[in-house]
Amino acid sequence: MGDLQVKNISIVTPHIKGGPWQWGRDLFLELNKTEKFKARHIFSIKDKLLSQFIFKTALIHTTNPLAFSFFLKPIILTIHGKIHGSIWKALYWFGVYRANIVTVPSEFLRKSLGIERAIVIPNAINLSEFSEVDPTERDFFNVLTVTKFWFPDKARGLFELAQLIFNLARDFDKRINWRIVGYGPLLEDVKNSVVSLERPRNLTVQWFGQDIPKKYFSDTDIFAYFSHEDNMPISIMEAMASGLPVVTNKVGAVSEIISNNKDGFISLNHQDYQGNLLRLMNDFELRKRIGRAARDKIINKFSWETILPKWLELYRKLL
């Protein structure tokens, strides 16, 4: 192929519109802005079966270990998280063996999976979708949490966060509105557990289920996250992109996103977490400074302008 010829890239992801699907959609959109690459986002079963015959693919970039090429095209396998179930683990190891290149979004995941040859390319944020918030000093606080209720360790984290916020509110003299966005099969169980807690009078809890998180960023003061299983939470990165100060526990690769006490807070225990929330609630200038630094971190390290060249380098290496 000549250097000026456009290369076709097939981006293959699950059909469910979760994190890997969104990653594939964003990568597809970014690639189609370039001059040397044309991409197609393939996620339906029909398209997965027909794509190799109707789309002159030069390279397959997939999140699915079962992806293959009839025509022996290069394959990049990207793994976004922990692999559950013995059958899927076997399939992924087969996919790792077959792939020309394997990538993961964090050093934490590379070590957790034990894939020494995996290349770390972080998740990226489309900054055009997230406007910087305008912090407001007022006599109440809007605290936002965005999570999923599909895994027990994430659901348990939300309940622990509820206990922390309830305990904090009891000794706090201002009103706190805690808003929770997220859905999954464990949602109702967690809601029932939280409702059973003795709620302080100055605390309101609102559940918004399967909604668009960024709708709530503009009037949020603090983004609170807590989970016992995670890799590189997109919800944290999106909150940072909007200039929100983030408080999280130490889980997964959050230390690869946040520099503690500089552009967010990574709490080591419950007492530390509650202390970080109180620091932000009691210091308006600190909220502004941390939020501004958080957005700068995303711009400089996790925007598509920064991450896309890393993918292009891999594609050129294989093509």
One DSSP character per residue, 27-38 reads HHHHHTTSSSEE
pLDDT band, very low/low/confident/very high, at 14 (cuts 50, 70, 90): confident
For the chain, percent of residues with pLDDT exceeding 90:
79
Say how many domains are in the chain: 2
Beta strands in 18-168 (DSSP E): 37-42, 59-62, 75-78, 101-104, 119-120, 140-146
* pTM of this structure: 0.91
Adjacency order of strands within the sheet including 101-104: 37-42, 7-12, 59-62, 75-78, 101-104, 119-120
Residues 211 and 105 in one domain: no
Residues 159 and 97 in one domain: no
pLDDT band, very low/low/confident/very high, at 125 (cuts 50, 70, 90): very high
Residues 87 and 156 in one domain: no
How far apart, in whole angstroms, are the C-alpha atoms of residue 172 and residue 131? 30
SS3 138: coil
For the stretch 203-237, pLDDT in tens is 999 999 989 999 999 999 999 999 998 999 999 99
Residues 164 and 247 in one domain: yes
- Is residue 24 one of the residues assigned to a domain? yes
Strand-pair partners of 288: none
For the stretch 149-204, pLDDT in tens is 999 999 999 999 999 999 999 999 999 999 999 999 999 999 999 999 999 999 99
Query: Can you give the CATH number for the domain in which 200 is found?
Result: 3.40.50.2000
Please give the residue range of the domain that contains residue 275: 128-301
Residues 89 and 136 in one domain: no
How far apart, in whole angstroms, are the C-alpha atoms of residue 170 and residue 57? 60
How far apart, in whole angstroms, are the C-alpha atoms of residue 38 and residue 134? 38
- Which residues, in sequence order, are CB contacts of 225 under 8 Å at separation 6+? 145, 146, 147, 161, 233, 235, 236, 246, 247, 248, 249
Residues 106 and 196 in one domain: no
How far apart, in whole angstroms, are the C-alpha atoms of residue 209 and residue 48? 31
- Is residue 288 one of the residues assigned to a domain? yes
- Is residue 147 one of the residues assigned to a domain? yes
Strand (E) or helix (H) holding 162: helix 152-170
Residues 137 and 257 in one domain: yes
Query: What pLDDT does 87 receive?
Result: 82
**pLDDT tops 80 at residue 52:** no
